[in-house]
Structures are given as C-alpha cells and as structure tokens.
C-alpha cells in the first residue's frame, strides 16, 4: 500500500498551521479557459498519441491506472518536439493528466520499462490526491515560496527535498504496478544515460559500492535524486517496506550542512543554539550588560534557565553534526568570549572547557587560532592562561551545568 512519506506530512502540517497562506493556495481553481490554452500550446509543440492508433500505449496506461486506483482519470500522452533531452513528465490540470515524453525515450524502453515510467508519472497524481489533496496544496506553497528570490534559502532546500521524496514515492508506485523493481531501475538509468541495455542487479551492486566508499552521502540533485540513491531506496522499500524509511531518509538528507538547512533543521538548530547559550551563560559572573545584550541579539526573548544541565544526549547529537555546524557553534562561543573586554581571560577559559565538554574542541581551537591569528605556540600559551584565569573563578552549585 502506498502512503506518503513523513517529509511530505511534515511540510503539509507546517503550512497547514499558517491559515492565511494555506487558504490562499487552497482556493478551488475552475478556469476551463486556462486548461484549453494549455492544451492548445501542447498540441502546437508536440505530437499527440491517439488511443485509436496507439492502443498498446494506452493499454499500459489503463493497467497502471487500475493498479493505482485512478480509474476515472483522463490521460493523454504526447511526444515533445524540438528537444533531444531524454525525459518524461506529467502535468495535472483540472482533473486531467498529460504525460509528455521528450527525446527518443520510447525507442529506448522495453514494454516493462515503459509501464514503469508511465506508472511513475501517474503516481504523482496518486500522491497529490492523498489527504484530500492537501499534499498538492503543500507542494504548490513550498514551490512558490522557494521560487521567490527574496525567500530564505531554507525554503529552497525544503522544496528541493520535497521534490526528491516525491520521486522516491513515485518509484514505489511504479514498482507496485510492475510487480518488480528491475524495470523501475533500468528505465531510470536508461533515461538518464541514453543506454540501450542496463542490468538492474549490476547497478544495485554499483550503488552498494558507492555507499561502502562514501560515509557522508547526500543527494544534491535539483529535482531528481542521484540515480543510485533512488535505486537503493526502491530496493530497501521492496525488502523492508515502511521500516526502510529511516535508512532512506539518511540517504536523502545525510548530514545537514549549515548552508543547506531546510526549515525544520533550521528550527532545530535555533532551538539547539538557545539551549547551548543557556548552558554557556549559566555562570552568574558571565551575565554582564554587554553579554546580556549579545544574547538578545541571538534571541530577542532570551532568558536564563537556572535548571539547565548538560545532558549526554545533547553531546551525542552535537558529535554527529556536520563539521560546518560544529564550526558555527564555535563561532557562537567566540562571540561571547570577545563581547565584554572587562571579563578579560575568564570567558575564553570557560569556552575552552565548554567546547571540550560538548565535543567541538577541534573546531573551537581552529577558530581561535584563525580569528586571533595565533601560532601554535601562542595558542598554547593563550589557552593555558585563559584556563588558569577561569579556574580561579568561584562558582556555586547552582551555576554548574553538570549533572
């Protein structure tokens, strides 16, 4: 049974809570003239396959529709002109589906592969019909926001991941229709490479070799994940079903780079930053006017948490983060080390210890050397001097961050 992936649900739930935005995109659109205009342009720039002259093609469409329970969906197939690029796409307007082939796709694919491609495209319609059409609304919202050049990059990343998960979902639909993963994989590789012969088993071995050599894989495709990730994802789904989602998510997203955070990871990073600042700024000697002002530059509503303690789960989380995230936190610590000169060496001594406790010492040491332009010898001297200054500070039990 096909079910939407958790990322689809997250995006939908996020925008569902923004009622004004949701209502704007959820207004029913019944402009028949727009559909007619689209059809006219399609007819001008493509060849329309007629069911009467191409019964085998439309029989495959009917087969896919039956398996996907899209019984009453009108589908028309076209061959695009003026392009040699191999591709297949689908447009869904006002309860009509239009599948467009580009380049010599139909010459490359065998019967099973053609069925797989048609099923993949029709599964897009299946997905957007789920949850009363709310996933289609969510897709249009995140795509529109991401296409605005003034939008936060996190929205672009969210839209990218939403599309990637959609392709993985549609591969599952193709597998459900064909009953096997082989034509799903071979059609994928044929369209992307132009090869006339592809072996699915060999390609899966190639994917395994890539994963064995690369420990931090992350898909970077703009609209389609790398082929080996899609191939592995459909294999895992066939073997494990819904239990494969965690592995697939790891393949799709990998470790989040600071410059490639989606809106959810951005929120998580913000919450983690607040938590670390509450820990780092817990000592009362640190709560000067300049430090307090700096904290509120990060969070306007920043407040101290007297009960904040450094938990092992937080350290484990930080240890798993991408190097860019660790570097970000190192710069956060440096911001507060330098903000109040009146505290002299004490904040840097506390920062050295704190960085070690939370598992980012290499990143923090590197930042200190770089930003303060210290040689190895000067760095060692500065570090020891700072630690000695911090060790002289008396803190009561309520100021400790350790359990």
d(CA 364, CA 374): 13
DSSP lists the bridge partners of residue 17 as none
Output the CA–CA distances (angstroms, integers) from residue 352 to 116, 326, 330, 331, 345, in the order listed. 57, 14, 10, 12, 11
Q: Strands 87-93, 46-49: parallel, antiparallel or unpaired by DSSP?
A: unpaired
Summarize pLDDT for 113-140 with one digit per residue, the tens.
999 999 999 999 999 989 999 999 999 9
Nearest to 31 by CA among 76, 99, 93: 93
Summarize pLDDT for 288-311 with one digit per residue, the tens.
999 999 999 999 999 998 888 899
Mean pLDDT of 191-207: 94
The answer to whether residue 34 scores a pLDDT higher than 80 is: no
- What is the number of other CB atoms lying within 10 angstroms of the CB of residue 391? 11
Structural domain boundaries of the chain? 6-178, 263-399
The answer to whether residue 325 scores a pLDDT higher than 90 is: yes
Nearest to 350 by CA among 268, 283, 304, 398: 283
Is the Cβ–Cβ distance between 1 and 166 less than 8 Å?
no
In the numeric block, the tokens 């309520």 are attached to 398
Mean pLDDT of 304-321: 90
pLDDT bucket at 221, cuts 50 / 70 / 90:
very low
Higher pLDDT, residue 72 or 215: 72
Give how far the C-alpha of residue 34 lies from the chain's centroid of Cα atoms, to the nearest Å. Answer: 33
The answer to whether residue 30 scores a pLDDT higher than 50 is: no
In the numeric block, the tokens 């007297």 are attached to 306
The answer to whether residue 1 scores a pLDDT higher than 90 is: no
Q: What pLDDT, on the 0 to 100 scale, is given for residue 212? A: 79
Summarize pLDDT for 146-168 with one digit per residue, the tens.
999 999 999 999 999 999 899 99
The answer to whether residue 183 scores a pLDDT higher than 90 is: yes
- What is the number of other CB atoms lying within 10 angstroms of the CB of residue 306? 10
Nearest to 253 by CA among 242, 262, 263: 262
Q: What pLDDT, on the 0 to 100 scale, is given for residue 33? A: 62
Nearest to 266 by CA among 151, 353, 362: 151
Residue 51 dihedral angles phi and psi, to the nearest 5°: -55, -30
Is the Cβ–Cβ distance between 132 and 28 less than 8 Å?
no
pLDDT bucket at 217, cuts 50 / 70 / 90:
low
């Amino acid at each position: 049974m096909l079910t939407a992936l958790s990322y689809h649900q997250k995006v939908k739930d996020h925008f569902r809570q923004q009622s004004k935005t949701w209502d704007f995109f959820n207004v029913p659109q019944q402009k028949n003239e727009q559909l007619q205009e689209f059809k006219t342009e399609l007819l001008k720039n493509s060849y329309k396959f007629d069911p009467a002259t191409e019964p085998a093609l439309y029989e495959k469409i009917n087969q896919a529709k039956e398996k996907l329970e899209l019984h009453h969906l009108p589908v028309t197939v076209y061959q695009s002109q003026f392009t040699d690029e191999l591709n297949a796409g689908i447009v869904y307007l006002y309860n009509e589906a239009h599948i467009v082939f580009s380049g010599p796709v139909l010459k490359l694919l065998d019967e099973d592969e053609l069925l797989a491609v048609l099923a993949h495209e029709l599964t897009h319609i299946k997905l957007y019909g789920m949850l009363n059409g709310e996933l289609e609304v969510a897709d249009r919202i995140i795509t529109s926001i991401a296409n605005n050049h003034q939008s936060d990059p996190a929205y672009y990343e969210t839209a990218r991941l939403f599309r990637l998960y959609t392709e993985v979902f549609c591969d599952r639909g193709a597998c459900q229709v064909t009953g096997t993963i082989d034509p799903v994989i071979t059609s994928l590789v044929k369209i992307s490479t132009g090869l006339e012969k592809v072996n699915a088993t060999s390609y899966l071995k190639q994917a395994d070799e890539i994963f064995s050599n690369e420990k931090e894989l992350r898909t970077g495709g703009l609209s389609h994940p790398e082929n080996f990730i899609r191939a592995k994802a459909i294999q895992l789904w066939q073997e494990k079903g819904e239990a494969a989602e965690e592995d697939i998510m790891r393949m799709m997203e990998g470790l989040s780079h600071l410059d490639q955070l989606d809106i959810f990871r951005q929120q998580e990073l913000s919450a983690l930053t607040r938590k670390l600042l509450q820990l780092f700024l817990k000592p009362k000697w640190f709560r000067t006017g300049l430090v307090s002002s700096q904290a509120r530059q990060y969070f306007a509503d920043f407040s101290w948490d007297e009960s904040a303690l450094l938990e092992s789960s937080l350290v484990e989380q930080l240890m798993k983060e991408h190097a860019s995230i660790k570097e970000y936190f190192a710069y956060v610590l440096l911001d507060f080390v330098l903000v109040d000169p009146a505290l002299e060496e004490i904040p840097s001594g506390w920062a050295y210890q704190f960085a070690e406790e939370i598992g980012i010492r290499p990143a923090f040491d590197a930042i200190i050397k770089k930003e303060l332009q210290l040689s190895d010898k000067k760095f060692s001297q500065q570090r020891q001097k700072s630690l000695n200054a911090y060790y002289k500070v008396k803190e009561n039990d309520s100021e400790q961050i350790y359990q």
